[in-house]
Amino acid sequence: MRPAPPGRSPANHGTGAAAFEAAAGGTLCVRSRRLPRDFPSLVPRIRSTSDVLLMVVADPRDDAHPLLVRPEPITVPPLAGRAHELPRIVDEFARDAVSELRALRPGFTDVDQAWVLKHGATSLAEIEKATLRLVALRASRTLSDAAARLGMAPASLTLWISRRRRKTSRVAGAR
Q: What pLDDT sits at residue 149?
A: 92
Q: What SS3 state is found at 71? A: coil
Average pLDDT over residues 80-89: 90
Of the two residues 12 and 93, the one the predictor is more confident about is 93
Q: What pLDDT sits at residue 31?
A: 85
Q: Which helix (H) or strand (E) holds 57?
A: strand 53-57
pLDDT tens sequence across 109-142: 899 999 899 887 888 888 999 999 999 999 999 9
Q: Inform me whether the pLDDT recorded for 161 exceeds 90.
A: no
Report helix angle 124-139 to 110-119, nearest 10. Answer: 140
Of the CA atoms within 13 Å of residue 31, those in its CB half-sphere come to 6
